[in-house]
């Protein structure tokens, strides 16, 4: 029987060094794309997949992420007093049901695999999604919902994948591909950040995963991999052959907001089709393009 998927882990302990000084005193996951922080995109995406329980894996200096999901009594009272209805509505997505969001701390930056292992008590024996908030996906149906749809058919592990230029394979987890129906790909092998000449394909994992709890047993060994970090990819690779394991070519566009160019592109992509901003954005883009 395929267990229903209700939990998500969001690793948010990273230092955000690529965005200094902006991230000196605020978590990078609080950086907004248009008017919503990155963390909110991830939560919205998970909710669309029917996920109701969240675990943030945080680190020192990241407590404002937890405050963000709390009730802001004074702010709400002031807005209500002043009749600011739309501002109050804008706060709605950041409210969570009592007890449905927990946080654990990753005390040392030992890698993504270690961050996920820190959530083991929250996971217990349940399957779960992982969302890396650096990646946001613009799509019709949410990317995680697409993964859960596939998981409900196949069970086991399902990771979101996309083709990348071969010279970029050393930035991602890369698949060795088995049977491929154009959408769902059987995972035969996984390598973390291989050099282009060693990469088994150019099909890369983006920051969206659905995994069974068994991954925790492999992570518990805390074996170091690429970059001397505990790699999630290595733990997943050990599950190949033991659980069904697929890559899903999701429908949508991923923006790597951990990268400055990707972050800026996301601002354009998410604002250009908004009724309140689209015309203004198109007009100023034309202005700058004409200058180039
Ligand atoms: C992590 C994973 C990598 C994956 C990537 C997706 O890398 O280790 O396998 O492809 O996220 O964004 P990171 O971006 O943390 O270096």
Mean pLDDT of the chain: 96
DSSP string covering the chain: -PPPP-EEEEE-----GGGTTTTSSS-GGG-EETTEEHHHHHHHHHHHTT--EEEEEE-TT-THHHHHTS--HHHHHHHHHTT-HHHHHHHGGG---TTSEEEEE--S---HHHHHHTTHHHHTT--EEEE-TTEEEE-SS-HHHHHHHHHHHH-SEEEEEEE--GGGGGGSEEEEEEEE-SSEEEEEEEEES--GGG-S-SEEEEEEEEE-TTHHHHHTT--B-GGGSB-HHHHHHTTBTTB-EEEEE-SSEEEETTSHHHHHHHHHHHHHT-TTTHHHHHHHHHHHHHH-
The whole-number pLDDT of residue 165 equals: 95
pLDDT of 29 > 80? The answer is yes
The whole-number pLDDT of residue 263 equals: 97
Length reported for the chain:
292
pLDDT of 134 > 80? The answer is yes
The whole-number pLDDT of residue 289 equals: 85
Q: pLDDT, tens digit, for every residue of 113-132?
A: 999 999 999 999 999 999 99
Banded model confidence at residue 291, pLDDT cuts 50, 70, 90: low
Q: Is 112 in the pocket of ligand 1 (CB under 6 A)?
A: yes
Q: pLDDT, tens digit, for every residue of 141-196?
A: 999 999 999 999 999 999 999 999 999 999 999 999 999 999 999 999 999 999 99
For the chain, percent of residues with pLDDT exceeding 70: 99
Q: Is 225 in the pocket of ligand 1 (CB under 6 A)?
A: no
The whole-number pLDDT of residue 234 equals: 97
Residues 58, 105 contacting (CB under 8 angstroms): yes
Q: Is 247 in the pocket of ligand 1 (CB under 6 A)?
A: no
Q: pLDDT, tens digit, for every residue of 222-250?
A: 999 999 999 999 999 999 999 999 999 99
Q: Which atom of ligand 1 is found nearest the CA of 258?
A: 14
Q: Which atom of ligand 1 is found nearest the CA of 134?
A: 12
Each domain of the chain, given as residue ranges in start order, spans 7-258, 259-292
Q: How far is the CA of 285 from the centre of ligand 1 (A)?
A: 31
Architecture per CATH, 7-258? Alpha-Beta Complex (3.90)
Q: Is 233 in the pocket of ligand 1 (CB under 6 A)?
A: yes
pLDDT of 290 > 80? The answer is no
- Residue of the CA atom closest to atom 10 of ligand 1: 172
Q: Is 132 in the pocket of ligand 1 (CB under 6 A)?
A: yes
Tell me if the pTM is above 0.75. Answer: yes
Q: Is 206 in the pocket of ligand 1 (CB under 6 A)?
A: yes
Q: Is 234 in the pocket of ligand 1 (CB under 6 A)?
A: no
Q: How far is the CA of 206 from the centre of ligand 1 (A)?
A: 7
pLDDT of 16 > 90? The answer is no
| Mutation test residue for ligand 1: of 9, 10, 132, 211, the one with most atoms within 8 Å of CB | 132
For the chain, percent of residues with pLDDT exceeding 90: 96
Q: Which atom of ligand 1 is found nearest the CA of 231?
A: 8
The whole-number pLDDT of residue 1 equals: 85
């Amino acid at each position: 029987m395929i267990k229903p998927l209700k939990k998500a882990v969001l690793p948010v302990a990273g230092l955000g060094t690529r965005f200094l000084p902006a991230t000196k005193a605020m978590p990078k996951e609080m950086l907004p794309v248009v008017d919503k922080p990155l963390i909110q995109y991830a939560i919205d995406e998970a909710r669309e997949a029917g996920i109701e329980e969240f675990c943030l894996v945080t680190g020192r200096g990241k407590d404002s992420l937890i405050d963000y999901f709390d009730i802001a009594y004074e702010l709400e009272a002031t807005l209500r007093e002043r009749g600011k209805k739309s501002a109050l509505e804008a706060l709605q997505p950041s409210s969570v049901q009592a007890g449905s969001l927990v946080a654990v701390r990753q005390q040392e930056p030992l890698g993504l695999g270690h961050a996920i292992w820190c959530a083991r008590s929250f996971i217990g024996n349940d399957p779960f999604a992982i969302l890396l908030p650096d990646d946001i996906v613009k799509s019709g149906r949410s990317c995680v919902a697409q993964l859960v749809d596939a998981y409900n058919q196949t069970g086991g592990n399902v990771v979101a994948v996309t083709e990348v230029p071969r010279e970029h394979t050393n930035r991602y987890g890369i698949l060795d591909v088995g049977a491929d129906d154009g959408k769902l790909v059987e995972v035969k092998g996984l390598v973390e950040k291989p050099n282009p000449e060693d990469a088994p394909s150019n099909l890369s994992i983006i920051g969206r995963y659905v995994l069974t709890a068994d991954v925790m047993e492999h992570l518990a060994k805390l074996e170091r991999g690429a970059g001397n970090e505990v790699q999630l990819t290595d733990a997943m690779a050990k599950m190949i052959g033991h659980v069904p394991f697929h890559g899903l070519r999701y429908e949508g566009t991923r923006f790597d907001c951990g990268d400055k160019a990707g972050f800026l592109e996301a601002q354009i992509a998410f604002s250009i089709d908004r009724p309140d901003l689209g015309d203004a954005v198109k007009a100023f883009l034309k202005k700058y393009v004409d200058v180039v």
